[in-house]
């Protein structure tokens, strides 16, 4: 996991939320990130499938696929 200096001292949930906002250029609405039984769950709405892919890419930089779940809707 590659952390930026600004990520130090943040929880994993906060890091994922920050990274998703950064990768989507803040184009994700109603973003929530939760840790549920060792799995990181990301929810929110984005304007396009491209933005959804950016959000997923940002989150997966920090969390392995088997510990990640998304409920990001497009529209």
The CA–CA distances, whole Å, from 21 to 35, 61, 69, 74 equal 17, 13, 17, 16
Summarize pLDDT for 30-69 with one digit per residue, the tens. 999 999 888 999 999 999 999 999 999 999 999 998 999 9
> Residue 57 domain-assigned?
yes
- CATH number at 30 reads 3.30.300
> Residue 2 domain-assigned?
no
> Residue 5 domain-assigned?
no
> Residue 4 domain-assigned?
no
> Residue 1 domain-assigned?
no
Counting the structural domains of the chain, the total is 1
> Residue 55 domain-assigned?
yes
> Residue 3 domain-assigned?
no
Question: Which among 30, 33, 29, 9 has a CA at the least distance from the CA of 19?
Answer: 33
How many other C-beta atoms lie within 10 A of the C-beta of residue 62? 19
Cα–Cα dist 37/71, whole Å: 17
Give the pTM.
Answer: 0.85
């Amino acid at each position: 996991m590659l952390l930026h200096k600004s990520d130090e001292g943040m929880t994993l949930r906060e890091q994922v939320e920050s990274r998703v906002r950064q990768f989507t250029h803040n184009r994700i609405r109603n973003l929530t990130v939760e840790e549920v039984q060792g799995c990181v769950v990301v929810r929110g709405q984005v304007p396009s499938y491209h933005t959804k892919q950016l959000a997923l890419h940002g989150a997966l930089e920090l969390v392995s696929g088997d510990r990640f779940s998304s409920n990001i809707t497009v529209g």
